[in-house]
Amino acid sequence: MTEDISIEAHIAKVEKLIGYTFTNKEHLLSAITHRSYLNEHRNATQDHNERLEFLGDAVLELVITDFLFHKYPHKPEGELTAVRAALVNTVSLSESATKLGINDYLLMSKGEAKDTGRARQYILANAFEAIIGALYVDQGYEASREFIEKHLFSKTEQIVEKRLWQDPKSRFQELAQEHENITPSYQTLAQVGPDHDRVFTVGVFLKDKKIAEGQGRAKQEAQQAAAEAALAAKGW
């Protein structure tokens, strides 16, 4: 089987995955192509996905902003901005891309393909935005909006209900005051390592009771980690 035929088959599978047939297959091919792939495949004719990601990011922001503006007519601008940020951050987009199955169809170098964790999250989130950009270019605004609606809108109520738009420390403080009428306090329990590579362990307390611990390379980072662990410990 030639590379052209295999690429055509690859694109057909991605089209089936996302539910759209592209007029210009090159748009979708570019959307799933990471820059590193072109470094290892000099004969490839498609572009990488960074330009489409740039476009898709703008389309995504408009669609989500319009949706939130009409869904929550009484929420202030600051809260709408925070909810939007939670909907379109790297974790949210990479989760949606993974659930869709995009991870199995990304074109990357062998080195990039081995990456996991945060590095892969960025690649998946960028590909998700690039697919939105490709849909916009090939199918128009309505198709890209339908795609976003299908894969992101449903997350909104959970984000608002569980206050996931807040950072963990702010969220834990509000809920601690709401449920127990106590303002949390934080104590540094340990710090290890040299100045340039120090790790802090921080405990979060309600009165004298330690609820959870968290670690980070800065005290603020450790406090956020402790607050997130405390939310889980309390079941909030």
What are the backbone angles phi and psi of residue 69, rounded to the nearest 5°? -60, -40
Question: Residue written as tokens 């199995």?
Answer: 104
- Choosing from 53, 129, 138, 228, the catalytic residue is 129
Distances from the Cα of 227 to the Cα of 12, 110, 209, 236, angstroms: 45, 38, 14, 11
Q: Report how far residue 159's alpha carbon sits from residue 89's, in angstroms, rounded to the nearest whole number.
A: 12
- Choosing from 53, 57, 112, 228, the catalytic residue is 57
Q: CB within 8 A of 121, min separation 6: which ones?
A: 90, 91, 94
Instruction: Give the amino acid at 59.
Output: V
Instruction: Give the amino acid at 55.
Output: L
57 has catalytic annotation: yes
Q: CB within 8 A of 182, min separation 6: which ones?
A: 176, 206, 207
Q: CB within 8 A of 41, min separation 6: which ones?
A: none
Q: CB within 8 A of 117, min separation 6: which ones?
A: none
* In contact, 187 and 201? CB cutoff 8 Å: no
129 has catalytic annotation: yes
Active site residues: 57, 129
